[in-house]
Amino acid sequence: ATALNAAKIVFVSDVGGIVDAVGGEETVISQCTLDEIAALLAAGGITGGMIPKVNAVRRALEGGVASAHIIDGRVDHALLLEVLTDAGCGTKIVADAKEGEDRADATEKTAQSGPIA
């Protein structure tokens, strides 16, 4: 992605995104930054097969890619939902919080208006 000067990279997986497993409750994170990923890794909140994915995300973002997305390829239209809707359906990762403000705003609006049909 870095060599191609890509703006985005999408990882298709068999999980809905980065799952925060800290504290025993597992929830998919809609959006996070590289610093938040580092904190989750240090706390043991990211485990198993997700570790190489987030390491690849880190390398891509540090290499100039603007955003990375981890989505569940088993979900119908997951790529379209993630890339073309504000709320998305997986985890969007950005280098810093300022770059990701749009997802946070959209997630709040979706929570207020209900799920996307």
Cα separation values, 66 from 9, 17, 18, 49, Å? 9, 18, 18, 23
Q: What is the mean pLDDT of the chain?
A: 83
Residue 27 CA to its chain's centroid (Å): 12
Cα–Cα distances (Å) from 3 to 6, 12, 65, 87, 97, in that order, read: 8, 20, 10, 28, 24
Residue 72 has pLDDT above 70, yes or no: yes
Per-residue pLDDT band at 23 (split at 50, 70, 90) = low
**How sure is the predictor about 91, in pLDDT bands with cuts at 50, 70 and 90?**
very high
User: Which of 9, 107, 17 is CA-nearest to residue 70?
Assistant: 17
pTM, to two decimals: 0.78
- Does the pLDDT value for residue 100 go beyond 70? no
Question: Tell me, what's the pLDDT at 64?
Answer: 93
Domains in the chain with CATH codes: 13-113 (3.40.1160.10)
pLDDT, greater one: 70 or 83: 70
* Backbone phi, psi, residue 58, to 5°: -60, -45
Q: Average pLDDT for residues 52-76, to the nearest whole number?
A: 95
